[in-house]
Amino acid sequence: MTGRVLNNRYELVEKIGSGGMADVYKAKCRVLKRWVAVKILKDEFVNDEEFLERFEREAYAAASLSHPNIVSIYDVGHEGNIHYIVMEYIDGITLKDYIRQNGALPWQEAADITISVLSALHKAHRHGIIHRDIKPQNILMTSDEVPKVTDFGIARAASTSTITRKIDTVGSVHYSSPEQARGGYTDEKSDIYSIGVTLFEMLTGKVPFDADNPVTVALKHIEEEPVKPSTYVPDIPEAMDKIVLRAMKKSKTERYDSALQMIAELDHLKKGEINEMNGNEPDQFATKAIGSLEEEVLAGKNVRRKNKKKNKEKAENKSSKKGFLIAFVYIILIGVIVGGIWLAYDKIVRDLAGAILAPKKQPVEVISYIGMPIEDAIRDLEEKNLPYVEPVYEYHDTVPEGIVIDQKPPAGISIMPGKDAITKVELVVSKGAEQVKIPTDIKFADYVEVEIHLRDDLKLKPKVVAEYSDEVAEGRVIRTEPEMGSVVAAGSEVIVYRSLGPDLKDVIVPDLTGSTMDEAKHKLLSMNLSIGKIFPEDREGYKGYIIDQEPKAGTSVKELTAINLYFGDEQAPASGDGSGIGPESAVGTRVTRYIYLPSNKNFGDTVELVAYYTTGDTGEEIFLIRITLSKSEFPFAITVPVTPGVKTTLFVYMDGEFQYEQEIFIQR
Amino acid sequence: MKYAAISDKGIIREQNEDFWNIILDMNGNPQAFIVADGMGGHKAGDVASKMAVESISKSISCYLEKKNTDSTDEQILREAINKANEVIFQYAMENLDGSNIGTTLTAGLLCNGKLTIAHIGDSSFYLIRNETIVKMTRDHSFVGELVDKGILDQEEARVHPLRNQITRALGYEKEVQVDFYSLDVMPDDIYLFCTDGLTVKLSSEELLSMLKEEKDLNIILKNMVELANERGGDDNITAIVVKI
């Protein structure tokens, strides 16, 4: 895949990751000249229409989320069978690797990361999007150590596919809530549980429930109480233990009500600590209106990064209250300076924008264009300055030409206006119904082949009607309606008349018993009946005469029906098996037979084995296998298809020479 | 002894990833029955099940020909399965860029009046005796194991989002753990080997009544597949039925 360019835009440079569902590539966007990450769905999913639809829907939903702690989705698309999502490229590692490299994190840092992830979750939850697969593997740490959550909603799309059959021995089960393990209803609080587990792992370097198989892990999530994180790392404050355990409550009602509520407690804990350090009353910061908190968290993000480094130092040298105080003052100072610069910058940009540039761009909601004439749709897009690609025209059986039949993104999604915006509106427009010509050379052709040709190649709906014909043999095509050579719309019905052969009259089967064979044959042929199978039987007194017949005398049959005859003959075998079982009445089976090297002949080191088989009475040899084997590979097992009730004969050749035949017969 | 087999790709899937075989001795008497349900995506979905059935059939046939009498039936099956596991695992390493493929396996070896079952994954073996049906194999699946532990009931398991996730598969890892069951063959016993395409759609009671109502085994199997397809047909369906 590396080196490939998707839709003439994304140049895949290097594979940077692989998951159960997709491979991730670092890619260069040729249009915007920047690095992006392209997530390409694995081959096994591309035939699952329902899955693809869900996958795209979730990706679009996630694309509507814009947040500093969420990996941005720029584009969703496909080129042929390659389905992909284009995302912000993060130069960093997963939180899982970050923990692996650093071991247990200082609790202050763990709290910071958790707050960032929670604020991302809060944003998503407010938009009605549940992540469902929060785990350190889905949280990326940028090189500036900013956590960013990825793969929103995709877990749900994946878990319902019937293709991922084998459960991973490690992975999501470690972080999934009791209700997810039970297959119950999941909501925002399931994400809260998973972030609780993630926080536990950051604090201690281990997951709370571990075992060598996923079922045991799931069971523990359902049944066992987690230990306090401070059991492993004594420095962890009691309040932190409480936060983790509350997020991880078995019952949803006992967990935090929202991501925001959990942020508030973590924030409280951190500030309480800071106040304690300063000798102030912790209560002063504790009571805060939750509504303003999210904005505060976001605004404080830049400060938080600096803060974190200080926290690390502090963890190393806890007693240095003085040092910390100085640091704290610095933080405030930096905050003020950064804020000041930002205000100034913002003002300059706004002034500039007012003077030179168009007004600041706002996302515009895409309306539904489906059912609209394409000219009207284009006019609307132009008016709103929304970017769009050249519409795609497709045949459609019912929608008239020029009407939009599909669109991406779906109605209700907001995208950025302007020609250079990433997400462009894609419209599929009806070309009307496809026109095809009924072939002229299908008279006398086998009706099954014609039916398949019309249906699969010409996209018509053939309907087979049988009728008698003296001219056309049975099973062959007589005519079509509309007639051959007509031009019709794809998808329309074509009646194919299949011949039943000549219209045969009913005749009464004559009594043949007691006749000689010649008399019987003559009688049958004169009545336009056929001679069927002849079964010789050794019965005293009947030599040379017909003993019995099938169907019996007096039966009404169509002309040309075959009449089987039982004929008195001395050399007849004990009893035949020719009961006329047709292969169509049996379900095919296969048997394994074992080929050995005849010991009475000299072969070289290798032997070319060829096998054929015949089935029933047709005598047609069907090729089975040609293989060169070394002597040690004998005895060699081969599998022969057989029909129960029908004799199959296997013919074995070695080095081009016939060796032996073997009969295979299976009772029905 | 009568037997019949059927394999149907269902009405949704594009290919049949199930595989099966009945191994006969020189006299045409069945000696072993195998069903396998492969996984590994659209390129390699049928690779593991086909390789498993072929490799195990070959091992068992060779054994039956040589009659090394010092091995027990369980040992014969175990050796055949270990070999198949190695062959599939190796194949995936060399040809599929290490991406995992695997298959379920339920196989029965009929020897000296005894039937020995080897089982991996969520295909099934049912014993029908004295008008009752017993599913002898335990599913190696996420939900199956939670049912065994009493956490989920059958209905919850049937609708669980992870219902098709198996916890063991042949050829998926370097080594595979196999469950064995054995039973003495009794007159009028009926044995049913099938993949989950059948058991997800039909309850054991339904299977039992279908086996009781009709004599012709081929018709029974056709009816079972038809019913499974009427109920969605979203998976491949394979079954072997044996009547002693």
More confident residue, A63 or A590: A63
Q: How confident is the model at residue B241 (pLDDT cuts 50, 70, 90)?
A: very high
Residues of A in contact with B46 (CB under 8 A): none
- CB-based contact A163 B41, cutoff 8 Å: yes
Q: How confident is the model at residue A156 (pLDDT cuts 50, 70, 90)?
A: low
More confident residue, A62 or A330: A62
Of A592, A597, A660, A667, which to mutate for an interface test with B (greatest number of B Cβ within 10 Å)? Answer: A592
Residues of A in contact with B23 (CB under 8 A): 591-592
Q: How high is the pLDDT of residue B82?
A: 96
Q: How high is the pLDDT of residue A141?
A: 94
Q: How high is the pLDDT of residue A169?
A: 44
Q: What is the pLDDT of residues A179-234, one digit of tens each?
A: 988 888 888 999 999 999 999 999 999 999 998 888 899 999 999 999 999 999 99
Residues of B in contact with A162 (CB under 8 A): 164, 234-235
Q: Which residue of B has its CA nearest to A178?
A: B151
What average pLDDT is seen over chain B? 88
Helix/strand number for chain A, H first, E second: 16, 30
Q: For residue A273, what are the β-bridge partners?
A: none
More confident residue, A324 or A146: A146
Q: How confident is the model at residue A328 (pLDDT cuts 50, 70, 90)?
A: low
Helix (H, G, I), strand (E, B) or coil at B224: helix
Pick A506-568's CATH classification: 3.30.10.20, 3.40.50.1980, 3.30.450.270, 3.30.450.40. 3.30.10.20
**What end-to-end distance do the CA atoms of chain B give, in Å?**
5
Mean pLDDT of B120-129: 94
Helix (H, G, I), strand (E, B) or coil at A33: coil
Half-sphere exposure for A635 (CA within 13 Å, toward CB): 20
Q: What is the pLDDT of residues A33-48, one digit of tens each?
A: 889 999 998 877 777 7
The torsion angles phi and psi of B106, rounded to 5 degrees, stand at -130, 115
Q: Under 8 Å CB-to-CB from A174, ≥6 apart: which residues?
A: A135, A197, A207, A209, A210, A217
Structural domains in chain B plus CATH codes: 2-243 (3.60.40.10)
DSSP designation for A291: G
Q: How confident is the model at residue A630 (pLDDT cuts 50, 70, 90)?
A: confident
Q: How high is the pLDDT of residue A529?
A: 81
Q: How high is the pLDDT of residue A165?
A: 60
What average pLDDT is seen over chain A? 78
Q: How high is the pLDDT of residue B233?
A: 80
Q: How confident is the model at residue A75 (pLDDT cuts 50, 70, 90)?
A: confident
Smallest Cβ distance to A591: which of B22, B142, B166? B22
Of A2, A162, A166, A629, which to mutate for an interface test with B (greatest number of B Cβ within 10 Å)? Answer: A166
Q: How confident is the model at residue A348 (pLDDT cuts 50, 70, 90)?
A: very low
Pick A364-430's CATH classification: 3.30.110.40, 3.40.50.620, 3.30.70.260, 3.30.10.20. 3.30.10.20
The answer to whether residue A235 is catalytic is no
Contact yes or no for A57/A81 (Cβ under 8 A) = no
Smallest Cβ distance to A160: which of B43, B62, B161? B161
**Each residue of A49-66: b (16+ CB within 10 Å) or e?**
eebbebbbebbbbbbbbe
Q: What is the pLDDT of residues A556-584, one digit of tens each?
A: 888 778 888 888 775 433 333 333 322 22
Q: How confident is the model at residue B224 (pLDDT cuts 50, 70, 90)?
A: very high
The torsion angles phi and psi of A276, rounded to 5 degrees, stand at -60, -45
DSSP designation for A224: P
CATH number of A94-297: 1.10.510.10
Percent of chain B surpassing pLDDT 70: 95
Portions of chain A given CATH number 3.30.10.20: 364-430, 435-499, 506-568
Q: What is the third-level CATH fold of A435-499?
A: Trypsin Inhibitor V; Chain A (3.30.10)
Q: How high is the pLDDT of residue A517?
A: 82
Q: For residue A481, what are the β-bridge partners?
A: A495
Least confident of A104-108, A515-519, B52-56: A515-519
Contact yes or no for A550/A564 (Cβ under 8 A) = yes
CB contacts < 8 A, A to B, total 129
Instruction: Give the gap in angstroms from C-alpha B172 to the nearest C-alpha of chain A.
Output: 8
**What end-to-end distance do the CA atoms of chain A give, in Å?**
52
Q: Under 8 Å CB-to-CB from A313, ≥6 apart: which residues?
A: A323, A327
Q: Which residue of A has its CA nearest to B58?
A: A637
Q: What is the pLDDT of residues B21-55, one digit of tens each?
A: 998 877 778 899 999 998 865 556 678 899 999 99
On the question of pLDDT at A352 being above 90, the answer is: no
Portions of chain A given CATH number 3.30.200.20: 5-88
A627 touching B (Cβ < 8 Å): no
A660 touching B (Cβ < 8 Å): no
Q: How high is the pLDDT of residue A304?
A: 43
Q: How confident is the model at residue B137 (pLDDT cuts 50, 70, 90)?
A: very high
Residues of A in contact with B20 (CB under 8 A): 590
Would the pTM of this model clear 0.90, i.e. be above it?
no
More confident residue, A193 or B67: A193
Percent of chain A surpassing pLDDT 90: 22
Q: How high is the pLDDT of residue A17?
A: 82
On the question of pLDDT at B109 being above 80, the answer is: yes
Closest CA to B13 of B50, B41, B49, B51: B41
Contact yes or no for A254/A200 (Cβ under 8 A) = no
User: Is CATH 3.40.228.10 what the domain over A5-88 is classified as, yes or no?
Assistant: no
Q: What is the third-level CATH fold of A587-664?
A: Immunoglobulin-like (2.60.40)
More confident residue, A489 or A637: A489
Q: How confident is the model at residue A293 (pLDDT cuts 50, 70, 90)?
A: very low
Which of the following is catalytic: A23, A75, A112, A133?
A: A133
